[in-house]
Amino acid sequence: MATKRDIKKEGLRRGLRLRDAALIGIGGAIGSGILFAAAGGTAYAGPAVILSWIIAALMIAFITIPYAEIASMVPKGGISARIGYYVYGSYGGFLSGWALFLWSAIIPAIEGVAVAEYASYLVPGFYHGGLLTPLGILVAIIITILFAVLNFAGISKFGTFNSFLTYLKIATVILFIVLVPMLLFHGSNFTSTGFLPYGWAGVLIAIPATGILFSFGGYRQVADMAGEMKNPKKNVPIAIGTTLLVQSVLYVLMAIVIVGAVSWSGLGVNPGTWRSVASLSSPLADLMHIGATQAFGFVGGALGVLVILALLFAIFSPFGTFGVYLTGSARIIFGFAKEKALPGVFGRTNKAGVPVYALILASVLAVVFIIPLPSWYALVDFVVVAAVVNFALVSASLPTLRRIYPDLKRPFTVPYVKLWSLVAFVLSALLIYWATYPTTLYALGATLIGTIFYLYQAYKSKWKGIHLKHSIWIPLFVVGMIVLSYLGGTTTGGTNTIPFPYDMLVAVIYAIIFWGIAQLTAPRKQIYSSKQLMEEESTTAS
């Protein structure tokens, strides 16, 4: 444990190699979502959940690419939570960062719950009635402490540990993708009751509502750890691109495996009852166990080994992701503190370059959210909407960053920047809308509540640098999304005042209008100087 003397403004340490950074992104991606979301998505889309994963991969690629330019241009710790300050001023920057702060505070809890829920297959005392038991909570707290201690050793040591665990996860997923179809596969599942049993609306809603979008969050960890990467200007875009490619391929293939592994007679339901698949507590292991019993009358041989491996994978996969997100959460808190949105103590590091107090706060928040957690799916819906608010604001900011900071070196640049920015913003708005009402009300409402907490920062800065003229559109956009979600079609939980598919068209037009407003109200000169953006906050690891 670091002493008080050690904890000073030493700065983050650039100890992450390209390989380790990419594996942190992939390790953050291959967690609870690859099993929960792959199965849960079938409740909305049936076998067409495969299309949900493909569409999500394409959308997230479009939305993510701006982060590659920004993080390589300004490679600072927690940059995702900070970039809004450079374009929208302190109020807009705070709201953008606050949305991400909500995401970062809750995700470790989500993965902790996933570990306990999967482990309850072997130890029923961990999870009961949709909630962690006191024993399950204790296990999650112990996991939090273990990863906090590992983090105190420094980012390079954590990177080495995560790399080993991620290689193990990738190998296990590939094993499932290859062997399960060979031993247990029902091709008729893709066509017997229709490939699109719930229509295109189900395919689209499944993306934010069942954890599919949540599962693509690994790239964010790469961007937010740019302040700890060696040669970040070159390596950040490569690491983000590698993360996106690997996770997309593995997700789509695993979705195919899970759809094909369903045995309707084994489940005791009529063919096409996809909600029964979504309700399984350990989807892959359950499906293989049921399918083997139904087909062969027992679970043994290669399938028996795979069932055991699936159970173990369902535990160590979110276990590793828990560590990645706890580490990433600490960097977001660190970055937020650097922008004076949190007390300065959270922006301090020890001699190993670890943001100690930020890590402690991230660990405490993980435990706080673990205790009352209702379910994996419910919390995923909430955090996804909060995170996509950040997606939208970062996307809209890109043309302004190009215009007011032309002197900053950009090793990677987004092509056709205005068009790319517009499309990414519109896609973000659609992802928010598809999350369904009232989830949109709760998550967007929580984002707006950030305004109350912003008063602390405004007071500390003596009410300077607010720049309302550049950011007042943001709360208006968020309120409008709540109203649109309420008035939308019944497929997205609305009152059907604007029925499907016209509600989708209205959402697109609404987003285009607000993107235009964002560009018209954007600053014409720098809010922060280029020198301030390029101030080095990291030191080279020894």
Partners of 14 in beta bridges = 540
How many residues does the structure list for the chain? 542
538 confidence band (pLDDT: 50, 70, 90):
low
Segment 213-218 mean pLDDT: 80
Segment 286-306 mean pLDDT: 70
Contact call for residues 309 and 285 (beta carbons, < 8 A): no
Contact call for residues 208 and 431 (beta carbons, < 8 A): yes
More confident residue, 426 or 293: 426
pLDDT in the model for residue 344: 87
Contact call for residues 288 and 280 (beta carbons, < 8 A): no
> Could you say which DSSP state residue 297 is in?
S
Tracing tokens 């112990």 back to the chain, one arrives at: 142
In the predicted model, is pLDDT for residue 10 greater than 60? no
pLDDT in the model for residue 470: 95
Contact call for residues 81 and 335 (beta carbons, < 8 A): yes
| Sequence-ordered list of residues with C-beta below 8 angstroms from that of 167, at least 6 positions apart, any chain | 23
Quote the CA–CA distance of 333 and 355 in Å, as a whole number.
Answer: 9
In the predicted model, is pLDDT for residue 536 greater than 80? no
342's tokens: 């949190």
Tracing tokens 């285009």 back to the chain, one arrives at: 512
Contact call for residues 259 and 50 (beta carbons, < 8 A): yes
CA 427 to chain centre: 16
**Three-state DSSP class for residue 349:** strand
pLDDT in the model for residue 137: 80
| Sequence-ordered list of residues with C-beta below 8 angstroms from that of 370, at least 6 positions apart, any chain | 109, 112, 113, 132, 137, 140, 141, 144
Q: What is the pLDDT of residues 375-401, one digit of tens each?
A: 566 667 778 888 899 999 999 999 999
pLDDT in the model for residue 179: 85
User: Which domains, and CATH codes, for the chain?
Assistant: 23-526 (1.20.1740.10)
Backbone φ and ψ of 35, nearest 5°: -105, -50
In the predicted model, is pLDDT for residue 496 greater than 60? yes
Segment 331-360 mean pLDDT: 86
6 confidence band (pLDDT: 50, 70, 90):
very low
Which residue type does 503 have? D
Contact call for residues 264 and 271 (beta carbons, < 8 A): yes
Segment 467-477 mean pLDDT: 95
Quote the CA–CA distance of 114 and 132 in Å, as a whole number.
Answer: 10
Backbone φ and ψ of 16, nearest 5°: -95, 125
Quote the CA–CA distance of 202 and 51 in Å, as a whole number.
Answer: 11
Q: What is the pLDDT of residues 421-469, one digit of tens each?
A: 999 999 999 999 998 899 899 889 999 999 998 988 788 888 888 899 9
pLDDT in the model for residue 295: 62
Helix (H) or strand (E) holding 491: none
Q: What is the pLDDT of residues 113-151, one digit of tens each?
A: 777 777 776 777 887 766 778 888 888 788 778 877 777
SS3 letters across 79-140: HHHCHHHHHHHHHHHHHHHHHHHHHHHHHHHHHHHHHHHHHCCCCHHHEECCEECHHHHHHH
Buried/exposed 176-185: b ≥16 CB within 10 Å, e otherwise: bbebbbebbb
| Sequence-ordered list of residues with C-beta below 8 angstroms from that of 369, at least 6 positions apart, any chain | 105, 106, 108, 109, 379
Q: What is the pTM of this model?
A: 0.86
pLDDT in the model for residue 5: 42
pLDDT in the model for residue 514: 98
Share of the chain above pLDDT 90, in %: 32
Contact call for residues 145 and 62 (beta carbons, < 8 A): no
530's tokens: 């280029």
Distances (CA, A) of 488 to 235, 291, 382, 492, 503: 42, 40, 19, 7, 5
267 confidence band (pLDDT: 50, 70, 90):
confident
Q: What is the pLDDT of residues 399-423, one digit of tens each?
A: 999 999 999 888 889 999 999 999 9
